[in-house]
């Protein structure tokens, strides 16, 4: 929360590339996310992006790291709640050609008008104009140089 205005920052939506690196225990990226949490930066974690990261890195340690994200004070998991959200996801998949994991990221970002945090800006650049509203993204260019 901004101490001067009392306003919370716009949430970041973490995509599957970011979550996969967390599952791989990338220390620079994990430190960045922890620093965001410490300063009150809201983060949204789409449930299907967690699924993608879990499929990418299957281990008890990876699962614990992904669970740790949802336990952070300023993060929340965005589930796929009901038929309306499921059909909206199908529409996003059809319009963008994204896999279901990142289509869920796009649907969450589109519905909430929040930027997507990614390690692969070129992927999001290709789809920035596929939906009714432009998708905005923040690329972390080299997670090894974070910190």
Q: Based on the number of CB atoms within 10 Å of its own CB, is 32 exposed (0-12), middle (13-18) or buried (19 or more)?
A: middle
Predicted local confidence at residue 3, as pLDDT: 56
Report the chain (147 residues): mean pLDDT per 10 consecutive residues.
Answer: 71 97 94 96 97 91 92 96 96 96 97 96 95 94 59
Most distant CA pair in the chain, distance: 44
Task: Note the pLDDT of residue 145.
Answer: 53
Q: What pLDDT shows up at residue 5?
A: 64
Contacts of 67 (CB under 8 A, 6+ apart): none
What residues have CB less than 8 Å from 15, skipping those under 6 apart? 49, 102, 105, 116, 117, 118, 119, 120, 124
pTM score of the predicted model: 0.90
The answer to whether residues 13 and 129 touch, using CB atoms and an 8 Å cutoff, is: no
Which residue ranges form the domains of the chain, and what is each CATH number?
12-141 (3.40.50.1010)
Cα 86 off chain centre by = 18
pLDDT at 8: 83
At residue 43, φ and ψ (nearest 5 deg) are -130, 135
Q: Are 106 and 85 in contact (CB under 8 A)?
A: no
């Amino acid at each position: 929360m901004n101490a001067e205005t009392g306003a919370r920052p716009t949430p970041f939506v973490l995509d599957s590339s970011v979550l996969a690196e967390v599952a791989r225990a990338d220390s620079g990226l994990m430190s960045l996310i922890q620093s965001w949490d410490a300063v009150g930066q809201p983060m949204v974690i789409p449930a299907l992006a967690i699924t993608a990261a879990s499929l990418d890195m299957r281990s008890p340690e990876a699962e614990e790291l992904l669970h740790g994200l949802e336990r952070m004070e300023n993060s929340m998991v965005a589930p796929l709640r009901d038929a309306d959200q499921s059909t909206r996801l199908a529409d996003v998949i059809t319009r963008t050609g994204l896999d279901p994991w990142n289509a869920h990221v796009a649907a969450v970002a589109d519905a909430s008008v929040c930027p997507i945090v990614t390690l692969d800006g070129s992927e999001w650049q290709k789809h920035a104009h596929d939906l009714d509203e432009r998708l905005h993204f923040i690329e972390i260019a080299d997670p090894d140089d974070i910190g």
